Amino acid sequence: MTWLTIDRSQKTPLIRQIYKQLRTKILSGELSGGYRLPSTRQLAEELEVSRNVVLEAYDQLLAEGFLEGKQGAGTFVAEGAFLKKTNTIPSYMLEENSSMKNKNIIDFRSGIPSLDQFPRKQWGQLAKRVSLETDHSLFGYDSPEGRIELRTVLSDYLLRTRGVECHPDQLVITTGATQAMTLIAKLLISANDKVIIEDPITHEIQTIFQSYGASLHPIRVDENGMDTNQISHEIKPAFIFVTPSHQFPIGGTLPIQRRIQLIEYARKVDSYIVEDDYDSEFRYEGPSISSLQGLDPNRTIYIGTFSKILSPALRLGYLILPPALVERGRTLKYFSDLHTPSLEQLTLALFIKEGHLEKHIFRMKKFYRKRRNFLKEQLYNEFGDNVNIHGDSTGLHLVAEFEGVHFTDNLLSELHDHGIKLYPVELHTINKGLYSNHLILGFGNLDEVKLAKGVTKLKRVLLKYQKVTQ
């Protein structure tokens, strides 16, 4: 049974390692009902562990019904223990929901900024001013669309930095991008409506839209984002969802020709475009890319967030609605949560107005560029020509494509057991099987020591796994 492995450097007990690997293989069908396992003595010799270790692992599996013993014949995999997989998030993704819960896990989750670089001093000083100097009415209920102070400075900032054209009244301040997506779904989706969407695209976004009854029509992306030539003119969607400045997760930038083609299509079928501009502030190669919204403000719904720029803990994002949708959007926001916290809104308004945000972004671009370059260097040092890197010109992650590797649930679970939490592109695909050797590697919240250690562990596990599966 050479396909079982023992890692004595792990904190996980040897009994648990054997139990977990056998359980996983039985549930997945890799070990089918009726398969005869080696004797406890034989397996103990193969793995170079005490026989009692194997006995306890077998006993646990027998107690749970995964195995059955036959007198004089041995131990067998029980019938009916195979569980068909569904397209849910794998269990290893749900464990240790945050790297903060287990500091021994190197978590390559994308979209997390460097939390230790949050401008605490400036933010704290501004928050103190807001708390002490503003009128007492601030501590009551507020407007669902958000404070006018924040909406005004934000509309000016977005016009100057992203080419977004909007009046402050078109802005709705949200508790992050997820709420913005939910409001769009409520605004535009009826049961069985079609939504044209990039493939791959964030798994959570797919779930939100589908939960409101949408039928997703995936359009494959390439190195330039959504391949607009593949959009069928026979479809009249509720909206088209794109990440044009930095496609998630592959990383392409939608060129002007495709942007125009997308707008012309939306005009023809009388549909909206939803533009998710989640982390385009951090562009490392060439000038900043203007928003798609600036090309047709009346046709485009624009989503932004401060979770990537500053901190997810702030829970501050925004939605820019075409004038025709503003009134309904405000009403839905009111029934969603009454209003977004006012103290944080006014603090952010001051942070932007006094120039701190742009200074912070300028500083963090240099900071993240250094981390990105270091991660690329580590990948090339460890994997050489066996790795290809995509989508690294912008944002807080890159995509690494590994020659001859398929990141199955079992392999990803094995990597997690060795202390690295990794995220496959396949998790975010609608049409499966095209990106089985691609990983999303977030580097925003990992220092150079963890990046180097994580890549080294990845190399070590892949070498061991490939030897075991050959």
**Confidence check: pLDDT of 283 > 50:** yes
Give domain status of residue 3, yes or no.
no
Q: How far apart are CA 21 and CA 36, in angstroms?
A: 16
Look at 43-47, 179-183, 391-395, 399-403 and tell me which has the smallest mean pLDDT. 43-47
Give the model's pLDDT for residue 30. Answer: 84
Count the Cβ atoms, other than its own, within 10 Å of residue 285.
9
**Confidence check: pLDDT of 88 > 70:** no
* Judgement on whether residues 285 and 151 belong to the same structural domain of the protein: yes
Ramachandran sector of residue 306 (left: φ over 0; alpha: ψ -120 to 50; beta: rest): alpha
Question: The domain containing residue 210 runs over which residues?
Answer: 141-354
Q: How far apart are CA 169 and CA 163, in angstroms?
A: 17
Please give the share of the chain, as a percent, with pLDDT higher than 90.
Answer: 80
pLDDT band of 97, cuts 50, 70, 90: very low
* Judgement on whether residues 112 and 150 belong to the same structural domain of the protein: no
* Judgement on whether residues 162 and 34 belong to the same structural domain of the protein: no
Identify each DSSP E strand in 4-103 by its residue range: 67-70, 74-77
Task: Give 3 or 320, the one with higher predicted confidence.
Answer: 320
Residue 292 burial (C-beta neighbours within 10 Å; 0-12, 13-18, 19+): buried
Q: How far apart are CA 262 and CA 372, in angstroms?
A: 31
Give domain status of residue 94, yes or no.
no
Task: Characterize the bridge pairing of strands 387-390 and 397-402.
Answer: antiparallel
pLDDT in tens, 417-429: 999 999 999 999 9
Give domain status of residue 125, yes or no.
no
Q: Are 90 and 422 in contact (CB under 8 A)?
A: no
Per-residue pLDDT, averaged over 346-350, amounts to 98
Give the model's pLDDT for residue 85. Answer: 62
Give domain status of residue 235, yes or no.
yes
**Domain stops at, among 326, 354, 382:** 354
* Judgement on whether residues 205 and 314 belong to the same structural domain of the protein: yes
* Judgement on whether residues 243 and 372 belong to the same structural domain of the protein: no
Per-residue pLDDT, averaged over 66-94, amounts to 75
**Confidence check: pLDDT of 285 > 90:** no
**Domain stops at, among 334, 354, 374:** 354
Give domain status of residue 99, yes or no.
no
Residue 161 per-residue DSSP state: H
Task: Give 108 or 463, the one with higher predicted confidence.
Answer: 108
Task: Give 320 or 470, the one with higher predicted confidence.
Answer: 320
Per-residue pLDDT, averaged over 164-185, amounts to 96
Closest C-alpha to 344, from 319, 317, 303, 316: 316
CATH of the domain at 19: 1.10.10.10
Q: How far apart are CA 429 and CA 436, in angstroms?
A: 10
Q: How far apart are CA 53 and CA 18, in angstroms?
A: 9
**Confidence check: pLDDT of 96 > 50:** no
* Judgement on whether residues 251 and 222 belong to the same structural domain of the protein: yes
Give domain status of residue 88, yes or no.
no
- The size of the chain, in residues, is 470
User: Alpha-carbon Rg of the chain, whole angstroms?
Assistant: 25
Query: Exposed e or buried b for every residue in 103-117, given b needs 16+ CB within 10 A?
Result: eebbbbbbbbbbeeb
Q: How far apart are CA 416 and CA 105, in angstroms?
A: 8
**Confidence check: pLDDT of 282 > 90:** yes
* Judgement on whether residues 171 and 277 belong to the same structural domain of the protein: yes
Please give the share of the chain, as a percent, with pLDDT higher than 70.
Answer: 94
Give the model's pLDDT for residue 470. Answer: 38
Q: How far apart are CA 145 and CA 170, in angstroms?
A: 9
Task: Give 1 or 122, the one with higher predicted confidence.
Answer: 122
Task: Characterize the bridge pairing of strands 317-320 and 387-390.
Answer: unpaired
Identify each DSSP E strand in 114-261 by its residue range: 171-174, 194-199, 215-222, 225-226, 239-242
Per-residue pLDDT, averaged over 155-167, amounts to 96
- Its pTM stands at 0.79
Instruction: Record the tokens describing residue 361, joined without a space.
Output: 């972004």
Q: If DSSP codes are grouped into helix, strand and coil, which group holds residue 128?
A: helix
340-314-98 Cα angle (round to 5): 125
The contacts of residue 79 (CB under 8 Å, 6+ apart) are 33, 34
- Number of separate helices (H) and strands (E) present in the chain: 14, 16
pLDDT band of 462, cuts 50, 70, 90: very high
Give the model's pLDDT for residue 345. Answer: 97
Q: What is the mean pLDDT of the chain?
A: 92
CATH of the domain at 214: 3.40.640.10
Q: How far apart are CA 21 and CA 367, in angstroms?
A: 40
**Domain stops at, among 300, 325, 354:** 354
pLDDT band of 156, cuts 50, 70, 90: very high
Give the model's pLDDT for residue 72. Answer: 82
**Confidence check: pLDDT of 100 > 80:** no
pLDDT in tens, 314-329: 999 999 999 999 999 9
Q: How far apart are CA 292 and CA 162, in angstroms?
A: 9
**Confidence check: pLDDT of 90 > 60:** no
CATH of the domain at 378: 3.90.1150.10
pLDDT in tens, 366-419: 999 999 999 999 999 999 999 999 999 999 999 999 999 999 999 999 999 999
* Judgement on whether residues 326 and 241 belong to the same structural domain of the protein: yes
Domain count, the chain: 3
Residue 36 per-residue DSSP state: B
Give domain status of residue 374, yes or no.
yes
* Judgement on whether residues 259 and 365 belong to the same structural domain of the protein: no
Give domain status of residue 5, yes or no.
no
* Judgement on whether residues 344 and 365 belong to the same structural domain of the protein: no
Per-residue pLDDT, averaged over 145-163, amounts to 97
* Judgement on whether residues 349 and 400 belong to the same structural domain of the protein: no
Per-residue pLDDT, averaged over 231-235, amounts to 90
**Confidence check: pLDDT of 302 > 90:** yes
Amino acid at 105: I
* Judgement on whether residues 297 and 366 belong to the same structural domain of the protein: no
Q: Which residue has the tokens 């580097």?
A: 443
Task: Give 276 or 34, the one with higher predicted confidence.
Answer: 276
Give the model's pLDDT for residue 4. Answer: 85
pLDDT band of 466, cuts 50, 70, 90: low
Q: Are 361 and 309 in contact (CB under 8 A)?
A: yes
**Confidence check: pLDDT of 131 > 70:** yes
